[in-house]
A and B are shown apart, each in its own frame.
Chain A
Amino acid sequence: MTLVAAIVLSPLLAAFLLAFTPGLKRAAALNIAASSAHFLLALTLLWAPHQSTALFLLDGFNIYLIILTTFVALTTSVFSAGYIATEVKEGKLNPLNLRFYHAMYQAFLFTMLLALSTNNLGVMWVAVEGATLTTVLMVSLYRTPAAIEAAWKYFILCGVGIALALFGTILMYMAAQPIMGPGMAAMTWTDLLGHVPRINAGILNLAFVFLLVGYGTKVGLAPLHAWLPDAHAEGPTPISAVLSGLLLNVALYAVLRFKMLLAAHDEALAPGPLMIFMGLATLALAGIMLYRRRDVKRFFAYSSIEHMGLITFAFGMGGPLANFAGLLHMTMHSLTKSAIFYAVGHAVQARGSQQIADIRGLTVSHPALGWGLLLGVVAISGLPPFGVFMSEFLLVTSTFARTPWLAVPLTVGLLVAFSALIMRAQQMCFGAPSMPQGRPLSGALVPLYAHLALVLLAGLWLPEPLVAWFRSVAALLGG
Chain B
Amino acid sequence: MSDFAYDASHLLGAIVLLMSFALLYQNRLFSLLHVYSAQALTLAAAAAWKGYAHDETHLYVTAGLTLILKAIIIPIALHRIVVKLDIHRAVEPAMSIGATMIAGVSLVTLSILLVLPVTAEASALTREDMALSLSVVLLGLLMMISRRNAVSQVVGFMSIENGLILAAVGVAGMPLIVEMSVAFSVMVAFIIFGIFLFDIRERFDSLDIQKIEQYRGEQE
Contact = CB atoms under 8 A, between A and B. Distances in A.
Interface string A108-128: 000000000000101101100
A267 interface: no
A149 B213 contact: yes
Interface stretch (A163-171, A244-252, A415-423, A463-471): A163-171
Nearest to A234: B217
A120 B176 CA distance: 10
Contact of A182 (B121, B172, B191, B217): B172
Interface residues of B, number: 54
B124 interface: no
B179 A148 contact: no
B186 interface: yes
A115 B219 CA distance: 37
Nearest to B182: A126
B212 A149 contact: yes
A32 B144 CA distance: 40
A284 B194 CA distance: 38
A192 interface: no
B90 interface: no
B199 interface: yes
Nearest to B196: A152
Interface string A133-167: 10011001001011011111001100110011011
Contacts of B119: 174, 200, 202-203
Interface string B172-193: 1111100110011011001100
Nearest to A209: B114
A173 interface: yes
Interface size band for A: 35 or more
B158 to A, nearest CB: 10
Given A146-B217, A152-B212, A160 B157 contact: yes
A174 B133 CA distance: 13
Given A129-B183, A174-B130, A200-B121, A294 B215 contact: no
B110 to A, nearest CB: 12
Contacts of A152: 150, 196, 200, 209, 212
A288 to B, nearest CB: 13
B57 to A, nearest CB: 14
Nearest to B127: A174
Main secondary structure on B side of the interface with A:
helix
A298 to B, nearest CB: 6
A205 interface: yes
Contacts of A230: 217
B196 A148 contact: yes
Interface in B127-155: 130, 133-134, 137, 141, 144, 150, 153
A292 B220 contact: yes
Given A146-B217, A160-B144, A126 B179 contact: yes
A273 interface: no
Contacts of B195: 137, 140, 148, 151
Nearest to B126: A174
B218 A298 contact: yes
Contacts of B164: 163, 166-167, 170
Contacts of A355: 218
Contact of A156 (B137, B157, B168, B173): B157
Contact of A145 (B168, B187, B204): B204
Among B120, B212, B218: residue with most chain A CB under 10 A? B218
Interface string A344-377: 0000000000110000000000000000000000
Interface in B17-32: none
Interface string B6-44: 000000000000000000000000000000000000000
B130 A129 contact: no
Contacts of B173: 177, 181-183
A187 interface: yes
A192 to B, nearest CB: 13
A163 B187 contact: no
A206 B126 CA distance: 15
Contact of B187 (A133, A146, A298): A133
A136 B118 contact: no
Contacts of B133: 167
A81 B45 CA distance: 51
A183 B175 CA distance: 6
A130 interface: yes
Nearest to A150: B217
B98 interface: no
Contact of B115 (A136, A187, A206): A206
A133 B191 contact: yes
A338 interface: no
Closest 9 CB pairs of A and B: A182-B173, A202-B118, A122-B176, A295-B218, A145-B215, A146-B215, A174-B171, A149-B212, A294-B218
